[in-house]
Chain A
Amino acid sequence: NAGVTQTPKFRVLKTGQSMTLLCAQDMNHEYMYWYRQDPGMGLRLIHYSVGEGTTAKGEVPDGYNVSRLKKQNFLLGLESAAPSQTSVYFCASSYSTGTVYEQYFGPGTRLTVT
């Protein structure tokens, strides 16, 4: 199993450009998440999904959109990138049943907006 993969690993955008980050998992997990991480801020939840076709807002959703058209994929979109969105983005997935709350994280995408 590849686990959780993220594409691309690095990206540089100019202000106002758009892009989509792709997260894929091969563990048949119901739940998927997008986080951003900035220096000194820890991980902050952007959006998440508890199943195919469903999405919900996290702590810092403004400026981002997401889609979960297929169970294994969770897309994060930036319609008009801003320098404040320079960050490392992590995707995660988890089971939907049981009591062990273990999230599996991807390797991250480093995004710079100039």
Chain B
Amino acid sequence: DAKTTQPTSMDCAEGRAANLPCNHSTISGNEYVYWYRQIHSQGPQYIIHGLKNNETNEMASLIITEDRKSSTLILPHATLRDTAVYYCIVRVALRRRDDKIIFGKGTRLHILP
């Protein structure tokens, strides 16, 4: 799976949009971009995933550049409950026999009141 690079930490004011970047310059054509987050003392939570097109769900939007070498997770109206570590993961599309997720260190997002 392709390697990802994320900033160690970010701050965002409550009510503003939080934009979390991720670089994945070695991504392959059959690899998806996934985002998870982990709120303090809880297990990680799936947020969203995408291949080429921008995606939106009830939690967030995912913007993937045309060359697919980077992406941005957008939380449109950040709240204090969005304070968490956000993980960007690149994965192949189809399940393999040795299927597993490798989490990196992620971005620690602080939502400021």
Interface set of A (CB-CB < 8 Å, partner B): 4, 31, 33, 35, 40-45, 48, 50, 56, 58-59, 90, 92, 94, 96-108
Contact = CB atoms under 8 A, between A and B. Distances in A.
Contacts of A59: 102
B100 A33 contact: yes
Interface stretch (B59-67, B75-83, B103-111): B103-111
A45 to B, nearest CB: 6
Contact of A97 (B85, B95, B102): B95
Contacts, number: 67
Interface of B: 32, 34, 36, 38, 41-46, 49, 85, 87, 91, 93-95, 97-106
Given A99-B32, A107-B43, A108-B43, A44 B103 contact: yes
